[in-house]
Amino acid sequence: MRLHDLKPRPGAKTRRKRVGRGPGSGRGKTSTRGHKGQNSRAGSSTRATFEGGQMPYIRRLPKRGFNNFVHRIEYLPVNLAELETHFDDGATVDVAAIVATGLANGKGSVKVKILGTGELKKKLTVTAHKFSAKAKAAIEAAGGSCTALVVANDATPEEKPATEE
């Protein structure tokens, strides 16, 4: 094989379809658009889901279920094993320290939940937004303490502080 033998694969290079160039071209007159109608006009186009004006399929179906997207609170998980490797014995671990070590990265205000994966042998004073039951037990078993921060949307109606009137 030599350089002058190289050719593109068959069908790789196709000519552009030139429509509306007279009756001899085979694609003159209506230029493959059919006769009359919305899509035959210049500048007219419809979205991919348009169904000709009838009630769209997605609007014919009933709404079902519940979407918690607006109200949910997302927590960034941090495991006990990561606390063990990144912090010294007797250290005070809060959300700022966790973010500073790179264990929790997120946009805006970061909410952290401590999870119980791994072993913790160091005595740590941990302050976070939430703790799993296993993580809380493990931290307290190692001689440390857990402090949960209050999250605004998380409080149930009984726990919410009373507003002064």
CA distance 104 to 77: 7
Domain residue spans of the chain: 76-152
CA distance 153 to 162: 15
pTM over 0.85: no
Digit-coded pLDDT (tens) for 44-93: 889 999 998 999 999 999 999 998 888 888 999 999 999 999 999 999 99
Contacts of 87 (CB under 8 A, 6+ apart): 93, 97, 101, 122, 124
Domain 76-152: state its class.
Answer: alpha beta
CA distance 98 to 112: 9
